[in-house]
Structures are given as C-alpha cells and as structure tokens.
Amino acid sequence: MHDFVRELYPLCRSITGEGLRITLSAAGRRLEGFEVRSVPSGTRVNDWEVPDEWNIRDAFVADVHGDRVIDFKRHNLHVVNYSTPVRRRVTRDELIEHVHTLPDRPGLIPYRTTYYDRTWGFCLEHERLPELTEPEYDVVIDATLEPGELNYGELVVPGAMEREVLISTHVCHPSLANDNLSGVALAVWLAQYVLGLEGRRYTYRFLFIPGTIGAITWLSLNPAAISRTLGGLVVALVGAPGPFHYKATSVGDARIDRVVRRTLGTRGAEFVERPFHPYGYDERQYNSPGYRLPIGSLTRTPHGEFPEYHTSADNLDLVKAETLGESLDVFTEIVRRFESERVVRSRYPFGEPQLGRRGLYDRLGGAGATDRRMAMLWVLNQADGDHSVDDIAERSGLSREAIDAAATILADAGVVTEV
C-alpha cells in the first residue's frame, strides 16, 4: 500500500484531468471489474454542472533573467489547483496578491484550489517570501481549462443479496499523501479483500471519486443503486498515526454505526466517535436530505486537526506502511462483521405474530422464562433485516446467546427468516 502511495504521489491530480485518469487506471490495474466512468463537462448533476476539464503541463514564476523562483516542477502544490492559464509579466505587488502562504507554518507550501472561481495563483513557503524582491516577474501557467470530462472509478462486487455496502474515497488531491492517497490505497486493498471473499452475502460498491462534484455526479446518475444501499463508509486519512475517529451517520444508529462501534470497541485501542456534522468529506452529500444514505466516515486524526494537513508536509514520510496496514485490518474486520453477523427478518412484521397458536409460549417455561420471552419479543421487534443478533443483544441488554437462541426458535417456527 505504501508503494502504491509512493507511485501516485508525484501526480498532479484534480477533480478532472489526466492526473486523475492515471490514478484511476493505477487502481483499475489492481482490481478486476473496475470501471472508469466519464461524464462530459456541462452535464447537469442535481444543482451542479460538471466543470470544464483542467490539465496542467508547467507553471512557474521567473525573474527577468529567466530564473524560476517558484516552480511547479519542483512541487505541484506550488500552483493553485484549477488555476486559469496565464502568461504575462506582472509587478511584484500584483504577483503577491496571487501568492498564498502559511505564516504560522513558514516552512510549508499550502494546498489551495480554485475550482469554481476562475482565477490563478501560486503557493509558497512563507519563509521564502522575502526572496521576491524584484520589481517585476514573468508568470506562466501552461494549463488548459476547456470542455472535457469528469472521471470516477467504480467497482461493484456482487453478493447473494442486492443490498449494497458503499465504500467511497476522494481521489482529487495532488501531491498529498495522507489526504487522499492513503484512502485510495486502503479502498483498493479492501476491494481486493472483498473480491477474495467466498460466498459474499452483501454486494459491495467502491467509488473512487473527485470530492463533492464526483459524489454529486454519482448520486445524480445512480438512483437504482441508491435505493439498494444499506450503508457504508467514506474512507480518508488512514495513513498517518493517530487514534481512529468515527463520524457517525446522520441517523446515528444505522447498521454501519453499530458495526463500526463494535469493531473499534473490541480492539482495545483508543478511538473517538463524533456525531454527524455537515462538513468534512462526501458523507455530507450521501447524508443530504434527498438521500439520507447512512454513510459514516472513518479516519485516523481528522482533517484540519494535524499540522501537516493540506500542506507539503503531508508527504511520504507522514504516511507509514504499518499504519496503513493497521487501518486495513480495521476495515476488513468491519466487512467481516457485515458478512458474518446473523440477521433475521420477521415474516409477520405487522404487529406481533400470534405466538400461542404456534406453541411458542410452551417452550418458554422453566427457569429464566422471563428473559427468554423478552429475548423473543426483542428479536420480533428488531427483525427488520437491518439489525443483527449482536445489534439486538446490545439494544436489549440481554446476552448474545439468549438472542441467538430466540432467533433460532423463531426461525424453526417459520416466524423469521435468515437474511
């Protein structure tokens, strides 16, 4: 996984363009069945429109002697992502208006974008600003911003059921390793794990999408898949050390929320759960009111909460192979729980079924009868196909064994069916 991050790190990705396509094909080479989708610029997607495609070949600020003082070829963060093409001589003052720095972290190049505002800019280590002493500079951004396409990657791994688990990761950042190449690597390796699972119950859908516009595009074009989605996760920031942070779904008590809590809760390591809030990554699109897909977000240290975030320090040293591996273990455990936890669905969900007629009360006598009756009532109440035996045990406070036994009695009597 770390080699994969290293391979893709130098590319100048964006929400469209060649760097994104090369990244998607690198993922596709490792995943049988992976498809790269193309949506033309100008396509209406809900309240948005697919933007023109951006491609960049070179960019620099040079002094009048032709010496490059800011150079895209040294680091692609030096150019504001999605800058319009420019080629002219500017005064130092005009240049400075287009230069972004981080005064509080003077040694780092910031990451800036201008997707929906047509302008240009450069990013520079703040400590290098005093080097810009000449009265005039030549500014060149050799880029194109014209009709093309938006691309995203999609892999559907079918299971016995149509119900889908969605794993989504953004794939639009240039030379930044933890955000977002760690997420891309994890999604590729998790997909390989899922492809290798025999007798899958659920269908899994992996999305490798440009942030915001990619999620909105996918949501706009895939109403059928949306209706089959049971829940899922946005994957990001899984390569740098730090405790796991789980941001719950908008409903807060979806199957994915419970499975992630159990997975993190049984590891014995520190983890943090936060309620849903409408900021962050694409979980905000999936959880929007027209969809309300129960998609949580699982990261290590969240965005904006580590000093390297969105700077040149988010590099190949920040991301550790060991951390990537540990993160992958957690995600595969989540899939394993989805696959292995017992789930039953009531065949008589409209009110309680009549237990006496089926002789089920007869089997509840003796010591512990009250608990056994309550276990049965809990199973009947929660047997909507989205609650596992583990979920019902947690909710009821009864033992997993008691719930499991009640589910078996009800299944034998034909009152519930195994999902």
To Zn ion, the closest distance from the beta carbon of 398 in angstroms equals 43
Q: Closest by alpha carbon to 297, among 316, 322, 279? A: 279
- Residue 114 or 144: the one with the smaller Cβ distance to Zn ion is 114
Angle, helices 400-412/369-382, rounded to nearest 10 degrees: 70
Span interacting with Zn ion, options 92-100, 154-162, 179-187, 248-256, rule CB under 5 A: 179-187
User: Which residue number has the CB closest to Zn ion?
Assistant: 179
The type of residue at 154 is: E
Q: How far is CA 85 from CA 32, 91, 118, in A?
A: 38, 18, 10
- Residue 18 or 179: the one with the smaller Cβ distance to Zn ion is 179
Q: Closest by alpha carbon to 203, among 248, 165, 230? A: 165
To Zn ion, the closest distance from the beta carbon of 236 in angstroms equals 8
To Zn ion, the closest distance from the beta carbon of 13 in angstroms equals 11
Q: What are the DSSP E strand ranges found in 63-126?
A: 68-71, 86-91, 99-100, 122-123
Examine residue 391 and tell whether it contacts Zn ion (CB under 5 A): no
Q: Closest by alpha carbon to 140, among 46, 249, 60? A: 60
Tell me which residue has tokens 């047997």: 383
Residues 295 and 186: their CA atoms lie apart, in Å, by 17
To Zn ion, the closest distance from the beta carbon of 351 in angstroms equals 49
Positions in 114-173 near Zn ion (CB under 5 A) = none
To Zn ion, the closest distance from the beta carbon of 306 in angstroms equals 12
Sign of CA dihedral 390, 393, 399, 402: negative
The type of residue at 189 is: W
Span interacting with Zn ion, options 159-167, 175-183, 186-194, 378-386, rule CB under 5 A: 175-183
To Zn ion, the closest distance from the beta carbon of 179 in angstroms equals 4
Kindly state the number of chain residues that form the binding site for Zn ion, as judged by CB under 5 A.
1
Examine residue 390 and tell whether it contacts Zn ion (CB under 5 A): no
Count of other CB atoms within 10 angstroms of residue 195? 15
Residues 298 and 247: their CA atoms lie apart, in Å, by 6
Residues 218 and 213: their CA atoms lie apart, in Å, by 9
- Residue 148 or 210: the one with the smaller Cβ distance to Zn ion is 210
To Zn ion, the closest distance from the beta carbon of 87 in angstroms equals 29
What's the DSSP call for residue 295?
Answer: E
Q: Which two three-digit tokens encode residue 44?
A: 């209406």
- Residue 205 or 310: the one with the smaller Cβ distance to Zn ion is 310
Positions in 227-246 near Zn ion (CB under 5 A) = none
Examine residue 179 and tell whether it contacts Zn ion (CB under 5 A): yes
Examine residue 308 and tell whether it contacts Zn ion (CB under 5 A): no
To Zn ion, the closest distance from the beta carbon of 237 in angstroms equals 9
- Residue 304 or 365: the one with the smaller Cβ distance to Zn ion is 304
To Zn ion, the closest distance from the beta carbon of 304 in angstroms equals 9
Count of other CB atoms within 10 angstroms of residue 412? 11
Residues 173 and 310: their CA atoms lie apart, in Å, by 9
Residues 324 and 183: their CA atoms lie apart, in Å, by 9
* Residue 377 three-state SS: helix
- Residue 77 or 259: the one with the smaller Cβ distance to Zn ion is 77
- Residue 179 or 283: the one with the smaller Cβ distance to Zn ion is 179
- Residue 81 or 229: the one with the smaller Cβ distance to Zn ion is 81
- Residue 61 or 237: the one with the smaller Cβ distance to Zn ion is 237
For β-strands 122-123 and 99-100, DSSP reports them as parallel
The type of residue at 166 is: L
- Residue 55 or 311: the one with the smaller Cβ distance to Zn ion is 311
To Zn ion, the closest distance from the beta carbon of 173 in angstroms equals 6
> Which strand (E) or helix (H) includes residue 204?
strand 203-209
Helix and strand totals (H; E) in the chain: 12, 19
* Site of interaction with Zn ion (CB under 5 A): 179
